[in-house]
Amino acid sequence: MVVYFHNKNIKYIVSQVKAKKEKWVYRAVHIQNITIILKQAFYLISMSSGIMEQYQKYCAIRDFARKNNIIDLSGCSFLCPTCLLPLINFIKNNPDMEYVSAPYNVEKYISIVDKKEYSENATYVPPIYLPQKYSEAEEVIEILRKHHNNGIDYGGQDAFNYMIGELIDNIYQHSQFENASIMAQRYEKLGFVEITIYDDGLSIPFCFEKHDISIHNDCQAIEEAIKGRSTKSDERGYGLATTTNLYVNGCNAQFFIVSRNGAWHKSKIDETFYNTEGLYTFSGTLVSLRIPYPINKVNIYDYIA
Amino acid sequence: MNMLEAERINIKDKLNAHLSLRDSANQFFDELNQTNDVGNITIDFKGVQSISRSFAQQFLYRMENSDKEYICINKPRKIEMMFKIVKNKGEKPVVVNSDESSVVNLSSALH
């Protein structure tokens, strides 16, 4: 079929199509903007349930349990690895305490995560326990790599492997742990992944004390560790310093460390030390990272040199 | 093996494509030192995908402090770069900017 248009008509049709197209383009941009705004809102909401708040939640549950012999999770609505990983260890270490379940969805989540099973499409990585034998640790790290798709969306495999290697290596070098584990949860709608590493070993401040290194308080001990002061030699101590630099400045991540009576929270725009003596003390060391997800490959050599 | 013939070891096959832990470097050299070969030992990095600074530092330390002669071949660029960074012994990055006055005292806020 051949259709003939008058020149005028063609011009009119073309202008209409253009106008509609512009309208749709405008709508698409508008939707894109709303998506960005929503993502930012989600991120802000997630910040209100930030790493420190999650750690404080764990401490509150632990404190109540110690006083009342009841592990009460009935008020828990949102548990991130920073709260959940030490909590799972606390529950395991106190089997005689009465247990009050969390709300249905949270309890279901805990039971799934704690089964240590992992499926390809899961957004979580269940707690993976580090073996006492250093020589067996490589196998565990290999499992982590597999579960995290080699860190491709967490700044690339170089960054991810560097971070995992240095943080786990620190545990074996310094902590003398009985229990150490690592878990992660990816929050795709909120746009971040949280990775938490737990050990019940010596703690950073005690490690300095053990080596007769004079430190005023536990916050200073953490500060010195991040600055790269090593109990071994001056040539060492780069691991924590470079990993925090890589992830905070290279990947825009949040970094949280609590060890005995000190804690440190760092993001690109904010930094706080906490005196955690008392209710918020931690026997051992807990390290948590909140990494924007997904995040493009980072050139690690810009941050570790 | 001929005593003077160079032994060639692929580090990826012995350890992993990702070289992470300091003690893995120790383990690697402990095993090599147990061999009685007098000739050079060639360490082949073919297939290695990543390396941590800790591993690189320990690897270089053990290689420099060994009685045996080692030759490294097929080093990917990223391995070369990491070795260079370790050898340069640059300044540690400054990540902490706060001072003690910015410490939030949680211990006073609980009771």
pLDDT reading at A173 higher than 50: yes
Question: Which pLDDT score is estimated for A138?
Answer: 86
ipTM of the complex: 0.85
Mean pLDDT lowest for which of A21-25, A154-158, A280-284, B75-79?
A21-25
Q: Is residue B40 part of a domain?
A: yes
- By residue range, what is the domain housing residue A270? 120-304
Cα(A176)–Cα(A157) distance, rounded to whole angstroms? Answer: 28
Q: What average pLDDT does the segment B7-31 reach?
A: 92
Q: Is residue A76 part of a domain?
A: no
Mean pLDDT lowest for which of A237-241, B46-50, B59-63?
A237-241
Instruction: Give a three-class secondary structure readout of chain A.
Output: CCCCCCHHHHHHHHHHHHHHHHHHHHHHHHHHHHHHHHHHHHHHHHHHCCHHHHHHHHHHHHHHHHHHCEEECCCCCCCCHHHHHHHHHHHHHCCCCEEECCCHHHHHHHHHHHCCCCCCCCCEEEEEECCCCHHHHHHHHHHHHHHCHHHCCECCHHHHHHHHHHHHHHHHHHHCCCCEEEEEEEECCCCEEEEEEEECCCCHHHHHHHCCCCCCCHHHHHHHHHHCCCCCCCCCCHHHHHHHHHHHHHCCCEEEEEEECEEEEECCCCEEEEECCCCCCEEEEEEEEEEECCECCCCCHHHHC
Cβ–Cβ contact A66 with B under 8 A: no
How far does A247 lie from chain B, in Å, by closest CA? 11
Residues of B with CB under 8 A from a CB of A: 15-16, 18-24, 27, 49-50, 52-55, 57, 78, 81-82, 85, 88-90, 92-98, 100, 102-107, 110-111
A165–B21 CB contact, under 8 Å: yes
Chain A interface, best mutation among B23, B85, B95, by max A CB count within 10 A: B95
Q: What average pLDDT does the segment A284-290 reach?
A: 97
List b or e across A110-122, with b for residues whose CB sees 16 or more CB atoms inside 10 angstroms. Answer: beebeeeeeeeee
Cβ burial, residue A276 (10 Å; 0-12/13-18/19+): buried
Average pLDDT of chain A is 86
pLDDT reading at A28 higher than 50: yes
Contacts of B88 in chain A (CB under 8 A): 305
Q: Is residue B49 part of a domain?
A: yes
Q: Is residue A56 part of a domain?
A: no
Q: What average pLDDT does the segment B7-16 reach?
A: 92
- By residue range, what is the domain housing residue B69? 7-89
Cα(A98)–Cα(B104) distance, rounded to whole angstroms? Answer: 33
Cβ–Cβ contact A233 with B under 8 A: no
State the total domains in chain B: 1
Share of chain A above pLDDT 90, in %: 60
Q: Is residue A81 part of a domain?
A: no
Question: Which pLDDT score is estimated for A220?
Answer: 93
Q: Is residue B96 part of a domain?
A: no
Q: Is residue A72 part of a domain?
A: no
Q: What average pLDDT does the segment A186-195 reach?
A: 93
Contacts of B78 in chain A (CB under 8 A): 158, 301
Residue B13 pLDDT class (50, 70, 90 cuts) = very high
Q: Is residue A26 part of a domain?
A: no
State the total domains in chain A: 1
Query: Is the pTM for the entire model greater than 0.80?
Result: yes
How far does B48 lie from chain A, in Å, by closest CA? 11
Residues 6+ apart with CB under 8 A from A290: A50, A51, A192, A193, A194, A253, A254, A256
Residue A10 pLDDT class (50, 70, 90 cuts) = low
Question: Which pLDDT score is estimated for A162?
Answer: 93
DSSP state of B100: G
Higher-confidence residue of A39 and B60: namely B60
Higher-confidence residue of A284 and B106: namely A284
Cα(A229)–Cα(A222) distance, rounded to whole angstroms? Answer: 10
Question: Which pLDDT score is estimated for A48?
Answer: 47
How far does B65 lie from chain A, in Å, by closest CA? 15
pLDDT reading at A47 higher than 50: no
A279–B81 CB contact, under 8 Å: no
Q: Is residue A45 part of a domain?
A: no
Cα(A134)–Cα(B20) distance, rounded to whole angstroms? Answer: 12
pLDDT in tens, A105-149: 999 999 888 876 667 778 888 899 999 988 888 888 888 888 888
DSSP state of B111: -
Question: Which pLDDT score is estimated for A125?
Answer: 87
Contacts of A271 in chain B (CB under 8 A): 96-98, 102
Contacts of B18 in chain A (CB under 8 A): 141, 145, 157, 161, 165
DSSP state of B5: S
Q: Is residue A55 part of a domain?
A: no
B53–A162 CB contact, under 8 Å: yes
Question: Which pLDDT score is estimated for A288?
Answer: 98
Count Cβ–Cβ pairs < 8 Å, chain A vs chain B. 143
Share of chain B above pLDDT 70, in %: 86
Q: Is residue B2 part of a domain?
A: no
B20–A228 CB contact, under 8 Å: no
Residue B22 pLDDT class (50, 70, 90 cuts) = very high
Cβ–Cβ contact A139 with B under 8 A: no
CATH code at position A269: 3.30.565.10
pLDDT reading at A16 higher than 50: yes
